[in-house]
Amino acid sequence: MQFSYEVKDSYAEVKGVGRLNMVAAPKLREVVAEVVAGGSSRVVVNLAETDFMDSSGLGALIGCLKAARQAGGDLRISGVQPQVKMVLELTNMDRVLTAYPSAEAAFGND
């Protein structure tokens, strides 16, 4: 899995391409920690090109959410694919995370 990020005006966008599984999970945590440490605590993880996620991947997202919140910001997800949507529902994680249609929309109203 490849991660890249881009700091925009009011948020930073982290993109993940491939499978966000137990192997990629620690990498995601590192990337987001780097982004937050760089001063962008408003983070969107764009999952438009993430075609598979397991529970470890979701666990990493929660870890990143905590890191962003503790830095006074927030972490949001966008572009959720069908398999990822299913995993979110299976674990009830859709009660916690809202899936936004696009990275721009994630922080659209604040």
Which two tokens mark 109?
């109203």
Write out the residues near other proteins by the rule CB under 8 A: 22-23, 25-26, 54-56, 58-59, 62-63, 65-66, 69-70, 74-76, 90-98, 110
CB of 8 to other proteins, least distance (A): 19
Sign of the torsion angle spanned by Cα atoms 56, 58, 47, 41: negative
Smallest distance from other proteins to CB 4, Å:
21
CB of 75 to other proteins, least distance (A): 8
Residues 17 and 1 sit within 8 Å (Cβ to Cβ): yes
